[in-house]
Amino acid sequence: MPMSRFLLFTTLGSLVWTSALTVGGMLLGLAWTQMIAFVEVYQHLVLVAVGIGLVSFVAMRLPGHLRRRGRSVPEWMRRCRGDARTRPCSYK
């Protein structure tokens, strides 16, 4: 991507993001402490979901990446390939 196009999109994205945060702050006013209390309730749930998603993404992409690099796939990953109903993983 050319630098001028990158800078254009970065500037536009920054303006949208900054505007959204500014308007949100103006609308919330002093009620932001109540919103923080509400968000803290779900904070751990969101972090766990993001962690599970990240681990799943890496676990699905790592074997293909290793094969493309010419490295062997670990035995425990090879056992878990395929349909879980017909070929369940064994971690022994």
Residue 91's pLDDT is 52
Domain that holds residue 42: 3-79
Q: How far apart are CA 43 and CA 55, in angstroms?
A: 18
Residue 72's pLDDT is 65
Q: Is there a domain that residue 25 lies in?
A: yes
Q: Is there a domain that residue 91 lies in?
A: no
Total number of domains constituting the chain:
1
Q: Is there a domain that residue 43 lies in?
A: yes
Q: Is there a domain that residue 39 lies in?
A: yes
Q: Is there a domain that residue 7 lies in?
A: yes
Residue 15's pLDDT is 97
Q: Is there a domain that residue 88 lies in?
A: no
pTM: 0.41
Residue 49's pLDDT is 95
Q: Is there a domain that residue 29 lies in?
A: yes
Q: Is there a domain that residue 89 lies in?
A: no
Tokens linked to 70: 């010419």
Is 31 in a helix, a strand, or coil?
helix
pLDDT along the chain (92 residues), means of 10: 93 96 88 84 91 90 72 62 56 52
